Amino acid sequence: MEIAPRISVSADVVHGAPVIAGTRVPVSVVIGSLASGMSKEDIETEYGISVQDVEAALAYAAELVARIEVTPLVGT
């Protein structure tokens, strides 16, 4: 099931984790690779996905972060 452009989930693929549609490449791996300093082009080569897939993973992660609501604890 597609949950965002180019991002899908299925109970049968990577235990239901969000992946690049049509692959077994988890969004978390793509984002982690970017965070570790890999370029979009390096990720494209390493995982056999497109730069557009990398950008879709980044957009999906940004959307998730935007939904998080943080409530500060009093006195911290």
Dihedral class, residue 61 (left if φ above 0, else alpha if ψ from -120 to 50, else beta): alpha
Q: How far apart are CA 37 and CA 43, in angstroms?
A: 10
pLDDT digit string, tens, across residues 2-31: 999 999 999 999 999 999 999 999 999 999
Domains and CATH numbers, the chain: 2-62 (1.10.10.10)
Per-residue pLDDT, averaged over 42-50, amounts to 98
In this prediction the pTM is 0.89
Which whole-number Å values give the CA distances from 40 to 4, 5, 20, 31, 56, in the listed order? 19, 17, 14, 10, 11
Return the pLDDT at 76: 59
Any idea which residue has 């996905």 for tokens? 49
